[in-house]
Every structure is written in structure tokens, then in C-alpha cells.
Amino acid sequence: MSNAGSAVRSLCAQIGKVLARYSIWFVGLCFIYSLLLVIGYAVPQSAVEANRQQSIQFLKTEGTYYSPLYGNTKLDNYSDLVMLRGCAESRGG
């Protein structure tokens, strides 16, 4: 019985080490996420709004469909305009 008991204790010790390691990683990643969130909210809203207005004007002059200058990364400008205009209504984070 002592072999089985020591095997169980050894397995519990290994599981405890793994859980401790993952717990440390989880807390660390939560801290990094929170820090990046604070940095993201530190960007002034005026800079974001100026860029949004400039993008809307650019997309209006470009037309409904994409310019071949940018390659095949965009399908159309209509959905981009809808999203940019929707950002002004939400005013949320």
C-alpha cells in the first residue's frame, strides 16, 4: 500500500505545481491586460475623432468600392463607412 500512497502523493504534488504555475500565469496575464487597457484608454478622444473624420472624408471621395492601390485587402468602402459612422453614435469605450 505504501507504493500506491506515495504515487498518489507524488501525483498530487505534480498537479499542485502545475496549478500553481498556471495560476501565476493567469494573474500575470490579467495584470498585463489591465495595464494595456489603461494605456488604450489614455489615448485622447480628440485624436481618434480627428482620424475618424479624416477617414470618412477619404472613403467618401474614394467611392463605394476599393481602390486597386491597396490590393485585395478591402472588399468595399460601404461597410467601413457604416462602422465609422456607428462609432460616433456609441461614444463608448
If you average pLDDT over every residue of the chain, what do you get? 80
pLDDT higher for 7 or 39?
Answer: 39
Q: For residues 56 and 81, is the Cβ–Cβ distance under 8 A?
A: yes
pLDDT for the residue 34: 97
Q: What sign has the CA pseudo-torsion 28, 39, 81, 54?
A: negative
* pLDDT for 7 beyond 90: no
* pLDDT for 4 beyond 50: yes
The DSSP secondary structure of the chain, one letter per residue, reads -HHHHHHHHHHHHHHHHHHHHHHHHHHHHHHHHHHHHHHHHTS-HHHHHHHHHHHHHHHHHH-SB--GGGGGG-SBSHHHHHHHHHHHHH---
Residues 49-93: pLDDT tens digits? 888 888 888 877 777 666 566 655 556 777 778 887 777 665 554
